[in-house]
């Protein structure tokens, strides 16, 4: 493995302070036990699959890193962690006199309202959207067939707003649409001078609805460092470098328990809900997104933890934070333990997403093209181009050709012109991919591709036999199926 790739996860010493505008410190100087922090890293490394982590203590970054091929420079999709940023936009609009918590929803979209709206819909307010207490029994759908605001307002509201908690991404979309309505700007553009630019969050992007409204409940992409900055802003009650960016009163209300959502003492999804923020155990609160995107704020410990990951069990990630990281925070500065620190640094340098390994006999497939019948992945053909450093998977799908360059025993990162797992991971093209490959069995090539702007990791297992290849493809996580049906390709013979 090349040395550069070993630096996948690094504890930042003061000499690294030029890496960004955030202050860095050794853990011990901020009252963080190096030995306990090592235990946290080791436990996190056993979770499949972590992408990144950053830890603030007393306003200093004491640990940060990325599991290769994920990197500090690459933005990562936040999924529902986006909701907390939409909440912040609402709070700012309220502070500027453009909104009120008690404003009825129908007032903003009279053109999309039903002819005879029921009493519960009439009673629905902005505060109900924020608390996920809209009165819906099921979440309104968002399709291409009609405006999402109209679909929302047409959906049955069987409960009195404010009395029934239902996690509801469409409610967050309505908040985004309302902010755009009253400001004349997308939430992304509205937040740029008020939040993103002051925090040094560069080039954020946000997915939009067909009507040109930011999705609100998902779709924001920023770097791990940016998540940590947002968390530190929340911890500091909206103040950044001496300037009040967000009213402290809003942050206090948004992160407080505004509604009950369960009673389990062991679940971080049963501790209450604020205004697009979750309450946690141990006096903490968080924004979070699908597959393990976290901004965890621990006021009692004066700490922030930012995490991106691609996991099936999101509670498992928080359990490691509580069981391993929480005990690392001490009241006073700790004696410097250079031996423990050296062990920690050594452990961190080797962290990476597990890549395929094997010593199987390679198949003789150089220059051979394998064609596929019509299939859900829209895969038309594939071939393998190999050299001593790795394999290039050449794919033709939906009429376009793309290449995934995969290293041997290491990750190779580059653009992929098409998203070959479009049937499982959303159909986006022009991915940035880190890939590795190995002949994991005789005539069986395994290619693992990390779509590093997302939590998705695709694994392709190609079993060659004579003029045939059997392709089995899967994703690590997904909202639905994570495994595609087996496809059989036939070698094309030149005339």
Residue ranges of domains in the chain: 3-74+260-349, 80-198, 370-491
**Pairing mode, strands 431-441 and 412-416:** antiparallel
Q: Which CATH class is domain 80-198?
A: alpha beta
CA 179 to chain centre: 23
Element (H, E) at 230: helix 224-235
Cα 83 from Cα 171, distance rounded (Å): 10
Per-residue pLDDT of the chain (495 residues; tens, 9 = 90+): 333 332 333 333 333 333 467 999 999 999 999 999 999 999 999 999 999 999 999 999 999 889 999 999 999 999 999 999 999 999 999 999 999 999 999 999 999 999 999 999 999 999 999 999 999 999 999 999 999 999 999 999 999 999 999 999 999 999 999 999 999 999 999 999 999 999 999 999 999 999 999 999 999 999 999 999 999 999 999 999 999 999 999 999 999 999 999 999 999 999 999 999 999 999 999 999 999 999 999 999 999 999 999 999 999 999 999 999 999 999 999 999 898 888 888 877 788 999 999 999 999 998 899 999 999 888 999 999 998 889 999 998 888 888 899 999 899 999 876 554 444 444 556 789 999 999 999 999 999 999 999 999 999 999 999 999 999 999 999 998 899 999 999 998 765
Following DSSP, what letter does each residue of 143-201 receive, concatenated?
-SSS-HHHHHHHS---S-TTS-----HHHHHHHHHHHHHHHSS-HHHHHIIIIIHHHT-
Q: Hey, do 80-198 and 370-491 end up sharing a CATH topology, with the first three levels equal?
A: no
What contacts 387, CB < 8 A, 6 or more positions away?
A: none
pTM of the model: 0.94
CATH label, 370-491, candidates 2.30.30.140, 2.40.128.20, 3.40.50.10740, 2.60.320.10: 2.40.128.20
Q: How many CB atoms lie within 10 A of CB 424?
A: 23
The DSSP element (H or E) to which 383 belongs, if any, is: strand 379-387
């Amino acid at each position: 493995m090349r040395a550069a790739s070993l630096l996948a996860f690094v504890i930042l010493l003061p000499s690294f302070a030029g890496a960004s505008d955030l202050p860095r410190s050794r853990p011990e100087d901020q009252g963080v036990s190096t030995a306990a922090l090592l235990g946290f890293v080791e436990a996190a490394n056993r979770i499949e699959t972590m992408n990144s982590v950053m830890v603030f203590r007393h306003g200093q970054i004491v640990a940060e890193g990325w599991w290769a091929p994920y990197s500090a420079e690459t933005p990562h999709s936040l999924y529902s962690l986006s909701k907390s940023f939409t909440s912040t936009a609402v709070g700012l609009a309220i502070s500027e006199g453009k909104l009120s918590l008690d404003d009825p929803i129908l007032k903003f979209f009279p053109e999309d309202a039903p002819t005879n709206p029921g009493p519960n819909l009439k009673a629905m307010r902005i505060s109900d959207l924020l608390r996920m207490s809209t009165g819906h029994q099921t979440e309104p759908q968002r399709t291409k067939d009609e405006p999402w605001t109209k679909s929302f307002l047409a959906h049955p509201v069987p409960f009195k707003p404010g009395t029934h908690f239902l996690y509801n991404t469409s409610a967050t979309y309505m908040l985004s649409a309302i902010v755009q309505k009253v400001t004349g700007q997308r939430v992304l553009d509205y937040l740029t001078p008020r939040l993103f630019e002051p925090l040094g969050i560069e080039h954020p992007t946000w997915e939009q609805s067909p009507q040109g409204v930011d999705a609100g409940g998902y779709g924001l992409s920023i770097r791990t460092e940016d998540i940590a900055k947002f968390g530190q802003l929340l911890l500091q009650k909206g103040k950044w470098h001496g300037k009040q960016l967000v009213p402290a009163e809003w942050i206090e209300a948004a992160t407080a328990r505004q509604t009950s959502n369960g009673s389990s003492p062991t679940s971080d999804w049963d501790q209450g809900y604020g205004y697009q923020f979750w309450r946690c155990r141990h006096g903490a609160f968080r924004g979070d997104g699908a597959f393990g995107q976290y901004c965890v704020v621990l006021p009692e410990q004066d700490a922030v933890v930012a995490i991106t990951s691609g996991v099936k069990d999101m509670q498992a990630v928080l359990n490691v934070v509580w069981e391993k990281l929480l005990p690392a925070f001490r009241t006073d500065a700790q004696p410097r333990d250079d031996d423990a620190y050296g062990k920690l640094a050594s452990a961190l340098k080797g962290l990476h997403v597990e890549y395929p390994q094997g010593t199987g006999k390679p198949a003789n497939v150089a220059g051979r093209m394998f064609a596929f019948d019509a299939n859900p992945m829209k895969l038309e053909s594939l071939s393998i181009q190999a050299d001593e450093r790795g394999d290039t998977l050449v794919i033709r799908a939906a009429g376009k050709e793309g290449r995934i360059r995969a290293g041997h025993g290491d990750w190779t990162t580059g653009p992929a012109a098409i998203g070959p797992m479009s049937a499982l991971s959303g159909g986006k093209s022009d991915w940035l991919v880190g890939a590795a490959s190995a002949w994991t069995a005789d005539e069986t090539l395994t290619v693992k591709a990390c779509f590093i702007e997302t939590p998705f990791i695709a694994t392709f297992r190609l079993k060659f036999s004579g003029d045939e290849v059997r392709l089995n493809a899967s994703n690590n996580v997904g909202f639905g199926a994570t495994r595609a049906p087996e496809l059989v390709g036939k070698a094309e013979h030149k005339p």
